Amino acid sequence: MHMTLNELRIGSKSRIIAVNGQGALRRRLLDMGLTPHTEVMVRKKAPMGDPIELQLRGYELTIRLDDAKNIEIEEA
């Protein structure tokens, strides 16, 4: 089932399928390690739900929900 990263629940693992967006936004997401075939897990969310903290490639990364909406995933 395909969904976007902002829909993933805390503690759930998934695999990135595609990184959407245009120009600098897409390049920034890719530079942060959010590339296709990467396994990612949501560690926690801020009290209001934005931003979210991810664990991928052995490190933690915090991104905004608006950015997470550009990342298509499939549950692992």
At 7, which CATH number?
2.30.30.90
Q: How many distinct structural domains can be found in the chain?
A: 1
Share of the chain above pLDDT 90, in %: 89
Sheet holding 39-45, edge to edge: 2-4, 71-75, 13-19, 39-45, 52-56, 59-63
d(CA 15, CA 18): 9
How far does CA 54 lie from the centroid of its chain? 7
Q: Would you state the pLDDT for residue 34? A: 95
pLDDT digits (tens, 9 = 90+) for 22-43: 999 999 999 999 999 999 999 9
Predicted confidence at residue 75, as pLDDT, reads 80
pLDDT at 9: 92
- pLDDT above 70: percentage of residues in the chain: 97
Pairing assessment for the beta strands 39-45 and 2-4 based on DSSP bridges: unpaired
Residues 50 and 44: their CA atoms lie apart, in Å, by 10
Domain residues for the domain of 54 are: 2-75
